[in-house]
Amino acid sequence: MKGDKHLWIAAAIVFFVLGIEYLYARSKGKKIFRFQNTISNLLMGVFDRIAGLFMVPLIFFYYQFLYDYVSIFTVPNTIAWFIFAVLMSDFIWYFYHKSGHRINLFWGAHIIHHQSEDYNYTVALNLTPLQVFVRVLFWSLMPILGFTPEVVLGTHLVIGLYQFLLHTTLIPKLGIIEYFFVTPSHHRVHHGSNEEYLDKNYGGVLIIWDRIFGTFAEEKAEVVYGITKDINSRDFLTSVFHYYRNLGYQMKQLPSIKEKLLLLVSGPDWVPSSGELSLMPLYIDKGTYKYTKFSALTKTYILFNTIGLFVVILVFAYFMSQLSILNMAAIGVFVMLTLIITGRLLEGTKTTILEIVRLVLTGFILYNFYFLQM
């Protein structure tokens, strides 16, 4: 039985840090964990991880192909070269991250990470696998230059873990470190919807790239988290696809194909010659979203679904190498159904039919897992 030890270790670190933050915030009376925002963030984290289990092998294969057939050099696998690879990866990260904010087509995949009006470690999990397609394009450079797929993916892990630790309001400014490294203070600015904080501090590990390229901003005014126009929903599917739906809505307002294409490759603040484009009614003014007060029973059921999803992912990762394609597909569908159901519960929407489908699918998975393998 071959387990994915790295995923288990990563999960243990993430939930330990998240638990410490939650308990410390409560002890200090800091209300940084609103229920709907927290669950919405966690659901997106599940979506990103379950997709990652299927996508990482494909990404590895793609990088391996570039390394085997297109690489210009052969870079030694030494500690010194790995440190250099992390530096190069961090440099690439800056431009990848900036493109995610300044190109609408990419912003649609990244905006999810900025939607939460609270700021805590669950926000670090609020990612979408849609970003992976953009990321792979940028990091194709590294295997072409001769870095092995293991090294390239290793740099992703280093930067990803470092980025995770930045998503908190509880760590103050860190003195001289602020001049060289991205700190929680710098990243709070990046997540701000304040006018002076928009499109600032793109760095992954080093803040020097922002200082060099003129996108640095120091944390001064209190940060207002989230996006400039909130979405009137915490539903899972709405959170994932709302920006692309809005791009389609805005494209209908443009008369020419040229302007429609310009919309896709321009920034979110782009205004065509015909004037400002209207947004879907889904978007509301900042700070006007009405958070739901759930009954104890509903809240417990939402928590049960959310915790259950993380358990399913860990168990799935552990047994993945032994599962048939049919079983893997069934579990993938089960996870997606649960994400959709839980998202709808956050909005108070009926889930009866989806619950029945999930129950039947659960029976199918258990039958295959426990009986057909005996």
For the stretch 247-265, pLDDT in tens is 999 999 999 999 999 999 9
d(CA 107, CA 99): 8
Residues 98 and 174 occupy one common structural domain: yes
What range does the domain containing 147 cover? 55-230
pLDDT score for 296: 96
Is 22 part of a structural domain of the chain? no
d(CA 218, CA 194): 12
Q: What is the pLDDT of residues 152-170, one digit of tens each?
A: 999 999 999 999 999 999 9
Is 354 part of a structural domain of the chain? yes
Domain boundary among 210, 230, 250: 230
d(CA 370, CA 322): 13
Is 198 part of a structural domain of the chain? yes
Closest alpha carbon to 21 in 180, 163, 169, 148: 169
CA distances from 361 to 104, 249, 358 (A): 37, 35, 5
Is 178 part of a structural domain of the chain? yes
Residues 179 and 328 occupy one common structural domain: no
Number of domains in the chain: 2
- Can you tell me which residue has the tokens 């409560």? 26
Helix, strand or coil, per DSSP, at residue 233:
coil
Residues 183 and 305 occupy one common structural domain: no
Crossing angle of helices 130-139 and 35-69, rounded to 10°: 30
Could you tell me if 167 and 177 are in contact, meaning their C-beta atoms sit under 8 angstroms apart?
A: no
List all residues 6 or more positions away from 65 whose beta carbon is below 8 Å from its beta carbon: none
Domain boundary among 204, 230, 256: 230
Q: What is the pLDDT of residues 14-54, one digit of tens each?
A: 889 999 999 999 999 999 999 999 999 999 999 999 999 99
d(CA 168, CA 220): 16
Is 242 part of a structural domain of the chain? no
CA distances from 36 to 223, 285, 302 (A): 20, 18, 10
List b or e across 51-87, with b for residues whose CB sees 16 or more CB atoms inside 10 angstroms.
bbbeeeeebeeebeebbeeebeeebeeeeeebeebbe
Residues 65 and 195 occupy one common structural domain: yes
Residues 300 and 159 occupy one common structural domain: no
Residues 301 and 219 occupy one common structural domain: no
Is 168 part of a structural domain of the chain? yes
Is 163 part of a structural domain of the chain? yes
pLDDT score for 250: 97
Residues 212 and 107 occupy one common structural domain: yes
Residues 82 and 219 occupy one common structural domain: yes
Residues 85 and 200 occupy one common structural domain: yes
Residues 131 and 216 occupy one common structural domain: yes
Residues 303 and 218 occupy one common structural domain: no
For the chain, the distance separating the N- and C-terminal CA atoms, rounded to the nearest angstrom, is 15
pLDDT score for 6: 64
Domain boundary among 230, 249, 276: 230
pLDDT score for 2: 44
Residues with pLDDT less than 50, the chain: 1-3
Is 282 part of a structural domain of the chain? no
Please name every residue paired with 158 in a beta bridge, in sequence order, or none if there are none.
none
d(CA 128, CA 170): 25
Residues 189 and 73 occupy one common structural domain: yes
pLDDT score for 8: 74
pLDDT score for 371: 62
Closest alpha carbon to 239 in 369, 61, 27, 47: 47
d(CA 314, CA 318): 6
d(CA 124, CA 263): 28
